[in-house]
A and B are shown apart, each in its own frame.
Chain A
Amino acid sequence: MSLEAFLTIIGMAAVTYAIRASGLLLANRLPTTGFAAAWMRHIPGAVLAALVAPAIATGGVAETIAAAVVALAFLVTRNLFVAMVGGVLAVYLARTFIGL
């Protein structure tokens, strides 16, 4: 491993850990009730929605169909793995055989 690669990777690791640690240290100084607490409670769902929405919105027809398959599979089975495999299969089939 070259020195530049080592330094780059160590730099990435250090800055990433600093962010993870800061989140914990800053949380200490945040209030735990009222508006701020409600805000914190809503973060998980909102971050997930923010992760998913652009991927689906910028995807093609195949991704839209697959997203619908994922939603249907999850609502019917309540199984994360079934939903994930269903989505991957749907996107593969749509791309391969329909050419979407």
Chain B
Amino acid sequence: MSTTALPSRPWPQFMLGMRAFVPLAISIAAYGIVWGVLAGQRGMSVLEVALMSGAVFAGASQFVALDMWEPGNLPILSIVVTTAIVNLRFLLMSGTLYPLLAPLPRSRSLLVVAGVSDEQWALTMGEMREGRGSIAFLLGTTLACWLSWFISTIGGRLAGSLIDDPTKYGFDFAFTATFLALLLGMWKGRIDIVPWAVAALSAIAAARLIEGNWYIIIGGLAGSFAGAVVETMKERRDVA
């Protein structure tokens, strides 16, 4: 990437966001193909796949919805309620993007958060923690994320029976691998040990005890609360 370009300019920032997203887009595409293949097996049409990936744009909830998808006898309310539960974590993610979006008029920022998803949020938060990150960067990651999910799910649906069992190729591990590497990239020092350990342990416990995707929001809230406690205690010690 060019270091001579002014990084504060919107267009270079947008392109920077797009480029930074490429490794994640590959991981998303691997998952999108898997989802598209499964959607075909559940009897979803190409148009339905396109509408769902384009308008819902939330992988985890789309996987859960597939599980409940029965053409001719769709449990509409159950699918919508389950989707809300699986996607509750976006509440935290949109909230943490607020400092970045605060300068925008409300109507604009409400448009920007329509693209909030795990990967583009994680990447942009990583930038914000480094003191970088901008609205244009966020929009670049959003477009890259949306395109990779939209195209790969339709591609998977069209490829259909060519991939019989995607898990045997190891693609199912792409997300865990990506999230793990993203997490390691966020390491700021020993202050992160307690919140990450509390998040991991409470998420593992919650995943065993509670059905669904609650473990993500439970682990995230518990771990970050523990981090705030540790940080506040450290500040008091430093002052005293």
**Residue B152 at the A interface, CB < 8 A?**
no
Task: Given A12-B65, A15-B84, decide whether A87 and B92 contact each other with a Cβ distance below 8 A.
Answer: no
Task: Report whether A12 and B83 are in contact in the complex, using a CB–CB cutoff of 8 Å.
Answer: yes
Binds A, one of B9-17, B108-116, B143-151, B153-161: B108-116
Q: Contact at A84–B178, with CB atoms within 8 Å? A: yes
- Which chain A positions have C-beta within 8 A of B24? 80
Given known A-B contacts A16-B84, A74-B181, A87-B177, A49 and B199 have beta carbons under 8 A apart: yes
Q: Using a Cβ–Cβ cut-off of 8 Å, how many residues does chain A contribute to the interface with B? A: 74
B105 at the interface (CB under 8 A from A): no
The reply to whether A88 and B219 form a contact with Cβ atoms under 8 Å apart is no
A56 to B176 alpha-carbon distance, docked (Å): 8
- Closest chain-B Cβ to A77's Cβ sits at a distance in Å of 10
| B98 partner residues in chain A, CB cutoff 8 A | 24, 27-28
Best-buried of B57, B74, B186, B220 by chain A (most CB within 10 Å): B220
**A17, A32, A46: the one within 8 Å of B195 (CB):** A46
A88 proximity list for chain B (CB < 8 A): 30, 169-171, 173-174, 177
Chain B residues contacting A48 (CB-CB under 8 Å) are: 122, 179, 182-183, 186
**B23 partner residues in chain A, CB cutoff 8 A:** 79-81, 84
CB distance from A37 to the nearest CB of B (A): 8
Is B125 an interface residue when CB atoms closer than 8 A count as contact?
yes
